[in-house]
Structure 1
Amino acid sequence: MSADRRPDPATAVFVAHRNLLFTVAYELLGSAADAEDVLQETWLRWAGVDLDAVRDQRAYLVRITTRQALTRLRTLGRRKETYVGPWLPEPLLTAPDVAEDVALADSVSMAMLLVLETLAPTERAVFVLREVFDLGYDEIAEAVDKSPAAVRQIAHRARAHVAARRPRDVVSPAETRAALKAFQRAVETGDLQGLLDILAPDVVALSDGGGVKQAVPRPVVGADKVARLLAAGVGRVGGEASLEPVQVNGCPALIMRLNGEIDGVVALRIDDGLVTGLYYVRNPEKLSRVERETALSR
C-alpha cells in the first residue's frame, strides 16, 4: 500500500474483480471454501505479474482463476468419490441483485450446479466461461490450454449436454415464490396432500449430511415417497424448529433452524409450477455461507 494509504495497482485491480473471480471459481467447483482457496492462489500469481505487459486485466485474472480452479476440481473429484451419501453444492445466501440477473441466478442455482457436475472439468470450464461470462473462444482457449477450434467443439458438446438436463423453462420469480410458499406451508403442517399437490410426479430429493448429520443416503424419487419422507421427517415444523424463507444461490429457498441454530438449507428446482428437485444440505461444513450474504457478479 502506498504512503497515502491507497492500495497498489495490482491490489486495486484484484479487489475490483474479486466478486467476478469468486463467482467463476464457485461455478467451477460448487464449493465456496475451495473457491476462496483458489482466489488466494490467484492473488499470489497476480501479485508477481508485470501489469504493463497485461493487455486485458479481467481476462488475465479469469485465466489464472480458471487454471487454478481446474487443478482443484480434479482433486475435488477424487474427494467426492469417498464422500458419504449424495454430494450437494455449498449453498450461498445471496443478495436480491443476484436474483435480478436472471442469467447469473440460473447459472449458480443448485439445480444448474448439479447439471454442471455431470460435465468433465474442461467441459465445465468452457461452458461456464462462454455461456455465463461471455468470454471469447480465444480467451477461453488460453485458460484451458486448448486451441480455439477445440474449444468451439467442447462448447458445442457441453451446451447440448446441459440443454438436455437443465430446467425446461425459465420460471418467473413470482411463480417460484408461490411454489416455495405452498411447499413451506405443507411442510410446516405435515400436510401430505398439500405436498403431493406441489411435488412433480417424478420429483427427486437429495440430502447431504456429509457423514456428520443424518441424511437419506440415496436419492428419493417420486412424489409419494418424497411427500411421505417430508411429512414424517421434516414436517410439522414448530416449537423448537422453524423454516425461514431466504434467497440462496439467487433463488428462493428455506433455512431450517432448530433451537435457533441453522440445521440445514432446503433449495428447490421448480418446473411448470411444481417442485421437480429438492436439495437439503445439512453438512455443517457447508452452512457457514448462509449466515451472511455472498457477493456474486459476472
Structure 2
Amino acid sequence: MALTAEDVDRFEGFRPRLEAIAYRMLGSAAEAEDAVQETFLRWQATDVGRIEVPEAWLTKVLTNLCRNQLTSARARRETYVGQWLPEPLLAGDPMLGPADTVEQRESVSYAVLTLMERLSPNERAVYVLREAFDYPHAEIADILDISRAASQQLLHRARQHLADGRARVEIDATATRRVVEEFLSAAASGRIEPLVRLLTQDATSVGDGGGKVPARAKPFSGALAVAKFLRGLFKPTQIKRAIVGGTPEVYATTANGEPAVVVVVDGRIIGIMCLEITAGGIAALRNQVNPDKLDRASARWATGDHGKPLLLAD
C-alpha cells in the first residue's frame, strides 16, 4: 500500500532510534543506514494501519535484518584484509544514541563495540536492546522469538564475553583533551620512556586499513613494543611521508565516548585512533584508517570549529 505523508512522518520520527540500534548491532554507520532503509521499505510494503505498536514492529524488523547481516558479515570478515575494527563516530553524532546511563555509554564505546565481535548475533541483539535501550526481557523475547528465560541467559553470556577484567574510566571533555595532549607530547618526543609510563604493562595496539591503507595486520601488545611503534608513527616526518598531498594536522577529540587522536588532511579525516583509558593507564589503542569507515566522521568534522592542531607535520 502507498504510504501517507503521516505514515512517512511516523517512520522518520523513529529513524534516529533505529539508526542508533543498528549502529550498535553492526558497528558500521553505512551498514546501519542501509538496514534502516530496508526497514523503511518493509514498512512501505505493509498495511501500516494494522500495526498496533509501530515502534515494536519496526524494532523487530530492524533487529532481525541486523541479525541476518551479522551472520553474513562473519563470512565476509574471514576474507577481510587485515584486522576489522568498527567505524568510529565523533562526539555528538546522533547515531551514537542515548548516553544518559553508564550502561548506554559503555555499550557504544569503541572498546566494547570491538569486543562485541565476540558475540553471536542473538547475544549482541539482547545486549544492545537491554543495555543501551532498556527494553524489558519480555519485549526482547518477542522481538527475537525466544523465551524470556532465553533472553536473560543470552544477556548473561554476552556480559561474560565482554568482561575483559579492565575497569574503564569515564572522563569529561577537559580531561579528554589533557589525556590526548599528554599522549601526543610523549609520542612526538622521540623518547620511549614517557610513552611507557602512559601505557599499561599489557597495552595493545591494532589498526584497520581494510587493505586500502597500510596498517599492522595483527594486534600486538606490551608497553615497550607499543611505545616503540608509536614513537615512529608520530614522528612528523613519518606522518608526512605517509600522506600524499596536503599537510597532516593532528587534533584531540572524542570518538564513541573515548579520547581519540584525529589526523586531518585538507579538512578530511584520514585516521582516528581511539584510546582506551583504565585506572592503570592507556590499555589499548585502536586505529581506524580505512577510508571507507571515515566518511561520516569527516562530514561531521567539516561542520565544526576545532581550533589549532596539537601537532602539525609541516
| Same fold per superposition (TM over 0.5) | yes
**Mapped contact 1:196–1:227 kept (Cα < 8 A):** yes
Inter-partner Cα distance in structure 1 for 2:51 and 2:166? 39
Q: TM-score, normalised by structure 2?
A: 0.84
> After superposition, what is the alpha-carbon deviation per residue over 1:111-164, rounded to whole angstroms, capped at 9, x for unaligned?
0101111111111111111111111212212222212221122122222332x2
Tell me the residue number matched to 1:279. 286
Residue-pair matches, total: 289
Query: After superposition, what is the alpha-carbon deviation per residue over 1:29-56, rounded to whole angstroms, capped at 9, x for unaligned?
Result: 1111111110111001112333443333
Tell me, in whole angstroms, the C-alpha distance in 2 between the residues paired with 1:244 and 1:62. Answer: 37
CA distance in structure 1 between the aligned counterparts of 2:161 and 2:47, rounded to whole angstroms: 39
Q: 1:227 & 1:104 partners in 2: Cα distance?
A: 32
State the distance in 1 between where 2:274 and 2:138 align.
36
Deviation at 1:273, TM superposition (A): 5.6
Counterpart of 1:43 in structure 2 is 40
Amino acid at match of 1:76: A
Counterpart of 1:292?
299
Give unmatched runs, 5+ long, in structure 2: 241-246, 302-314
Alpha-carbon deviation of 1:177?
3.8
Which of 2, 5, 10 is the aligned partner of 1:8?
5
How far apart in 1 are the matches of 2:165 and 2:61?
28
- Deviation per CA, 1:7-45: give whole Å up to 9, x if none: 722211211111111111111111111111101110011
RMSD of the TM alignment (CA)? Answer: 2.5
**Whole-angstrom CA distance in 1 between matches of 2:190 and 2:57:** 52
CA distance in 1: counterparts of 2:296 and 2:191, whole angstroms: 31
Deviation at 1:203, TM superposition (A): 0.6
2: CA distance between counterparts of 1:66 and 1:120? 13
Residues 1:57 and 2:64 are matched in the alignment: no
* Contact 1:96 1:247 (C-alpha < 8 Å) held by counterparts: no
* Partner residue, 2:218: 218
In the TM superposition, residue 170 of structure 1 has moved relative to its aligned partner by: 3.9
What is the aligned partner in structure 1 of residue 67 from structure 2? 70
Mean Cα displacement is larger for which, 185-194 or 261-270? Answer: 185-194
- In the other structure, the counterpart of 1:139 is 139
Whether the aligned pair in 2 keeps the contact of 1:207 and 1:279 (CA below 8 Å) is yes
CA distance in 2, matches of 1:96, 1:46: 25
The aligned counterpart of 2:272 is 265
Relative to structure 1, the CA distance from residue 190 to residue 10 in structure 2 (aligned partners, 3 Å threshold; closer, same or farther) is: farther
C-alpha spacing 1:199/1:280, structure 2 compared with 1 (3 Å): same
Which stretches in structure 1 are left out of the alignment for 5+ residues?
none
Which runs of structure 2 are paired with 1:143-162 in the superposition (5 Å)? 143-162=143-162
SS for the counterpart of 2:164 is coil
Quote the Cα distance in structure 2 between the aligned partners of 1:175 and 1:261.
25
Q: Can you list the C-alpha shifts for 1:221-252, whole angstroms capped at 9, x where unaligned?
A: 01111110011123347873221122222333
